[in-house]
Amino acid sequence: MFRSLRPSPSKRTAFCTAFIAVYLLAVTAAQSPRPYRILISNDDGVRAPALPVLAQALRPIGEVIIVAPLENQSGVSQALTATPPIAREDLTLTGGLSAIGLSATPATAIQIAIKNIVMPRPDLVVTGINTAYNLGASAYLSGTVGAARQAAIEGVPAVATSMATPAVARDLVPAAQQVAGVVRQVRDHGLPSQTFLNVNIPPMATGGYKGYQITSQAAVRAGVEKFVEGKRPGTNQTVYWSVYTEGATAPQGTDIWAVNNGYVSVTPMRVGEYDEKVAATLKGWFK
């Protein structure tokens, strides 16, 4: 006599129930949108006090990943690290935030984060909050802006953020909330390819910020840089100390005018500086 190999009705019911549950979980997982992923970096170094404050402000918007230079890299613009090999250090910041420090420039930190660390690639890069303005022509020297530009080159939209030096200790938390307001708009609307935003936040007046202004990039520096000549202590070697004083004026509609008048400046910028008008002139030279 042969025993039937067909499962009993109770076993068939249990199997079907389990199969349906697994199927529904798979469908639900496939339909659930993955979290909006925000890569945060800076040029002041991974241990800069502004970095965890910015990260906490952006956590309600999406998943935050921190990858930044190990040391201060202010003023390096979009320089890349070629040699020696780049070291990685995994650490914990204030508030228990995980972060990765790299012995690299800000732009290189962005490259490595996008290509080797943040998988899948981030939806947005936010750099800063820099502890000094990056306005007007000074933006070209900024590692904070350089890192955002590098992200745009890599195909990831970006927002560079900076604030007035005297306001940092007092206004850091409200400034981070202003950045969060910009990031929400970028998340909801997106940015065109090869573009990024340069955001500068003024000292907060008693009544609060006046709001956001979409601005152009002023044609002047955001401050005055001087070099003081002296001698290295204990030697006869001549050295030059950089002394930077923040403060400039520019026409209405520019980033400098906006912060001078209490507005958060949002300047759209693009990768590439090709000038079509000058190109037309040059073509006439080489006929």
Residue 72 lies in a domain: yes
Higher per-residue confidence, 2 vs 234 = 234
Give the separation between CA 129 and CA 120, rounded to whole angstroms: 25
What domain range includes position 204? 37-218+249-285
CATH code: domain of residue 68:
3.40.1210.10
For residue 31, name the pLDDT band (cuts at 50, 70, 90).
low
Give 203: exposed, middle or buried? Use CB within 10 Å, 0-12, 13-18, 19+. middle
Does an H or E element contain 91, and which? Answer: strand 88-92
pTM score of the predicted model: 0.85
Kindly tell me if the per-residue pLDDT of 2 is higher than 50.
Answer: no
Strand, helix or coil at 231? Answer: strand
- Amino acid letter for position 283: K
**Look-up: residue for tokens 């802006």?**
145
Residue 207 lies in a domain: yes
CB 129 within 8 A of CB 55: no
CB 42 within 8 A of CB 69: yes
Number of domains in the chain: 1
Residue 270 lies in a domain: yes
Residue 12 lies in a domain: no
Range in 103-112, 124-133, 242-251 the model is least confident about: 242-251
**Look-up: residue for tokens 């003024």?**
202
